[in-house]
Amino acid sequence: MKYGLIVRNMGPQSTAETMGACAATAEELGFDEIWVVDHIAIPPDDAEGSDGRYLDPLASLAWLAGRTERIGIGTAILNLPYRPALPTAKQIATIQELSGGRLRLGVGVGWMKAEFQALGVDRRQRGRLTDEALDLFQRWFAADETEANGQSFLFRPRPERPPFFIGGASEAALRRAARVGDGWMPMGSDPEQLAPQIAKLRAFEREAGRSRLEVVAMGGLPLDDPSRAQDRLARLAELGVTRFAIGGRYADAGEFRRLAESVRKVIP
C-alpha cells in the first residue's frame, strides 16, 4: 500500500508558507503522495472551518510540484462538471509534464447544490458531464492529433496520462470506476463499511471485463491508539486498498509535522 497525506488548501492553513512546509515535511518523511481537495464557491452558511477560502486544486498542485522533487501530487477529488473539459485537460497535461509524471487525479461528479447554482451548471447533468469529460480525456491523451467539436487539433504536450481514480459511493460511481477508471476513491477508512462496496466494485469489474483496479481510500486513523491504527491498516490492505490518503485537522505546519510523524510510526 502507498501512503499519502491530505494538505489543507483551504482555510487559514492554505498560505504559501504553511502549504509549502507541509509538502516538504511529507516528502522528507518518505510519504508517497500529497493530496488536495476541491471547492469553488462555498456559500456563507456552509463555510465553517474554511471561511470560504479554497485555493484552486490544480493551481495548488502546480505550485506544490515546484516546491518538491519526488512526492506524488493528487486531487481528492476534482469535480469534473465544474470545469470545461479541454482547458482542464490542458492544465492536467501541463502539471503532469512539468512535475515529471507525478500527478494522480481523484475525480468526481460534485455534490454541493450551491456550487452548481453559482456555476450555472445543471446539477442533474453532473453524471453525464463527468462521463463526457473522462471519455474526452482518454481520447486526448491517446494521440497527438485529436478532435473536439468537429475541430482537429494537436494535444501537446502529451505526457503519460495520469491515473483517474473515480470518487463517490453510489452504484453509478462504482460502475463508472469499473468502466473507465484506473481505480475507485472512496471517502472513509472503516474496513467494515468499505468491504461490501469493494465487493461490488469487483463484481462490476468482472462485468466490464476489466482487471483488478486500485482502491484509494481517504480518511483518518485512530492515532491515539497505535495498535488499533496498525490493525486498521492491515485490514484495509487485506481488502485490496492500494493507496491511503490520510487526513487530519491541524492548525499550522508544526501540527502537521506532528500528525505526519504519528502516521509514520504506525505504517509498515
CATH number of the domain where residue 54 is located:
3.20.20.30
The secondary structure of the chain in percent helix, strand, coil, rounded to multiples of 5, reads 50, 20, 35
Position 233 scores a pLDDT of: 98
161 within 8 A of 105, measured Cβ to Cβ: no
Taking the C-alpha atoms of residue 121 and residue 127, their distance in angstroms, rounded to an integer, is 12
Q: pLDDT tens, 9-38?
A: 999 999 999 999 999 999 999 999 999 999
Q: Give the pTM.
A: 0.96
Mean pLDDT, the chain, rounded, equals 97
Q: pLDDT digit string (tens) for 122-165?
A: 999 999 999 999 999 999 999 999 999 999 999 999 999 999 99
> In this predicted model, what pLDDT tens digit does every residue of 74-103 receive, in sequence order?
999 999 999 999 999 999 999 999 999 999
Residue found by looking up cell 477529488 in the block: 77
> Beta-strand (E) ranges in 68-124?
72-79, 103-108
The whole domain housing 256 covers 2-266
Note the pLDDT of residue 211.
87
The model's confidence at residue 241, banded by pLDDT at 50, 70 and 90, is very high
How many angstroms separate the Cα of 216 from the Cα of each of 59, 75, 236, 253? 22, 12, 10, 25
Query: How large is the average pLDDT for residues 217-245?
Result: 97
DSSP secondary structure of 19-52:
HHHHHHHHHHTT-SEEEE---S---GGG-TTTTT
What is the percent of the chain with per-residue pLDDT over 70, rounded to a whole number? 100
Region 195-219: mean pLDDT is 96
Say if residue 242's pLDDT is above 90.
yes
pLDDT of residue 156: 98
In the predicted structure, residue 218 carries a pLDDT above the cut 90: yes
The total number of structural domains that make up the chain: 1
**Rounded CA gap, 260 and 130, in Å?**
33
